Amino acid sequence: MTTRVTQGMLNQNMLFNLHRNYGEMEKTQEQASSGKKISKASDDPVTAVRGMFYRSSLNEIEQYKRNTSDGISWMTATDEALDEVTSVLHRAKELTVQGLNGTNGESDRQAIVAEIKQLKEHLGEISNTQMSGRYLFAGTDTKNPPYRADSQVAGSPMEFRNQNQGALELQVGQTNNVQINVLGVNVFNNDGAGGLFKVFDDLVADLQNPNGGSSEHLSKLEGQLDNLLKERSELGARMNRMELSMSRVDGLELSTIKMLSNEEDVDISRVIINLKTQENIQRAALSVGASIIQPSLVDFLR
């Protein structure tokens, strides 16, 4: 069957196919210049939705990373403070042993008492350690210093007055919250009746009494040291957990980025080959079209 073919048909066909080729080339060029397989959701809806999901996950992971690093700074500062408290307690023990020694004279005793009072003040300062304007040992009452004078009684002495038991927690995973603070009451007021500071007060009072010198102070100091070590080891365990979370989150970030890249990114070599192929097809179409649409019988009739 011979179909009648007219110049109009040849023209139209050539233009139609050229346009389609240009359309394909535009798409490939977009892929090559942006490096992404899709530029809008309709190019591949499933890839688009997955891409959105991974992006959202990356946002979450970024936040967790921030949280873990903030948590570790806080806990490191707490640990250093507790280290200071340990040294203070050791020094206090030495002084106690010295003070209980019966060979001390009055002036020796005064010197020991003075130093113990200074040690107590120092403990107070440590318990008021701050980080970025928030008190480490104040539970959730982070704006009020735990070791303070009573604001309603004029001239009252500085005491550890914080009683807050709130935990400060940071989220390091979707269902993973880690407590980062050590409760001040657990360290400085662990028996609810004055704790560490009361031990020092009792010690000072006893040493100032010329007839005093009970040896129960040593055991009380030992007790406080034990308590301190318990708190520190718990803190250490939590720090370990935080560091583990940090490395897990790092790993998660890497794998999410990899999955996102798998979904969205384009294989450059394939795109360039496609582009070259399409360019070739385009040139062939143009040159063939040009040679077909020009001559007609008119050129050959004399």
51 forms part of the interface with another protein (CB under 8 A): yes
* Beta partners for residue 131, in sequence order: 134
Tokens in use for 164? 């807050």
x/- track of binding to another protein for residues 184-223 (CB under 8 A) = ----------------------------------------
Residue choice 1, 33, 59, 103 for contact with another protein (CB under 8 A): 59
SS3 label, residue 58? helix
Spatial distance between the Cα atoms of 302 and 298, rounded to a whole number of angstroms: 8
Residue 13 makes contact with another protein by CB under 8 A: yes
- CB nearer to another protein: give 92 or 249: 249
3-state DSSP percent of the chain in helix, strand and coil, to 5: 70, 5, 25
What residues pair up with 134 in beta bridges, in sequence order?
131
Across the strands, what pairs with 243? none
Cα first-last separation, the chain: 32
Q: With binding defined as CB under 8 A, does residue 286 bind another protein? A: no
Question: Rounded distance, CA 43 to CA 261, Å?
Answer: 17
User: Least Å distance between CB 75 and another protein?
Assistant: 13
The only residue of 35, 63, 244, 277 in contact with another protein, by rule CB under 8 A: 63
Q: Should residue 49 be labelled a site residue for another protein when binding is judged by CB under 8 A? A: yes
Which positions touch another protein (CB under 8 A)?
Answer: 3-9, 12-13, 16, 38, 40-46, 48-49, 51-53, 55-56, 59-60, 62-63, 66-67, 70, 132-134, 138-143, 164, 166, 168-171, 174, 177, 264, 296-298, 301
